[in-house]
């Protein structure tokens, strides 16, 4: 079995929503929809496959500074991103049968760089499927002898 990990770089330098946000329900729904759509767009752009049996997903946030942060607050972002991957068709559903979601994690800040967020998506490909996914060898070009009528 081969293990493949795709890293989807997210467009945000800080989480677009948090469990502590107290926004109006309509504003929250609109933001969730945008996050979900972004995940689908990134999955298409990175040519992620569809119809997989199981994937593991991890959200990583590298803040711009060393202030204390709670990883629980990233859960609404992770949920919306996973729903977007399901919309893409990566797996059938985001239930544990199809998707394992790791707790979001914080990466160490790097001096001189801003914040960043990315999603790590990992899946297994059976060996037989590996061979099927390889491009077929092109047929040899016809030669003059092959095309000549030998009567």
Structural domain 2-136, CATH architecture: 2-Layer Sandwich (3.30)
Residues 46, 51, 53: CA angle, nearest 5 degrees = 110
Question: What's the predicted TM-score (pTM) here?
Answer: 0.81
Of 52, 45, 47, give the one whose Cα is nearest residue 1: 52
Residues 125, 102, 120: CA angle, nearest 5 degrees = 55
Q: What is the pLDDT of residue 41?
A: 97
Which pair of structure tokens corresponds to residue 30?
Answer: 């609109």
Q: What is the pLDDT along the chain (151 residues), one digit of tens a residue?
A: 899 999 999 999 999 999 888 899 999 999 999 999 999 999 999 999 999 999 999 999 999 998 998 899 999 999 999 999 999 999 999 999 999 999 999 999 988 888 999 999 999 988 765 555 555 444 444 444 343 444 3
Tokens 């609404």, residue located: 76
Domain boundaries, the chain: 2-136
Of 79, 87, 88, 91, give the one whose Cα is nearest residue 122: 91
């Amino acid at each position: 079995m081969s293990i493949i990990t795709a890293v989807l770089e997210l467009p945000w330098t800080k989480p677009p929503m948090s469990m502590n946000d107290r926004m109006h329900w309509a504003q929250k729904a609109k933001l969730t929809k945008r996050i979900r759509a972004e995940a689908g767009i990134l999955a298409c752009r990175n040519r992620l496959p569809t119809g997989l049996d199981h994937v593991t997903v991890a959200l990583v946030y590298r803040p711009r500074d060393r202030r204390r942060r709670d990883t629980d607050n990233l859960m609404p972002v992770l949920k919306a991103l996973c729903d977007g991957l399901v919309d893409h068709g990566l797996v059938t559903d985001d239930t544990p049968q199809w998707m394992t979601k790791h707790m979001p994690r914080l990466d160490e800040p790097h001096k001189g760089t801003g914040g960043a967020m990315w999603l790590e998506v990992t899946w297994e490909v059976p060996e037989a499927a590996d061979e099927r996914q390889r491009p077929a060898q092109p047929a040899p070009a016809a030669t003059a002898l092959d095309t000549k009528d030998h009567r």
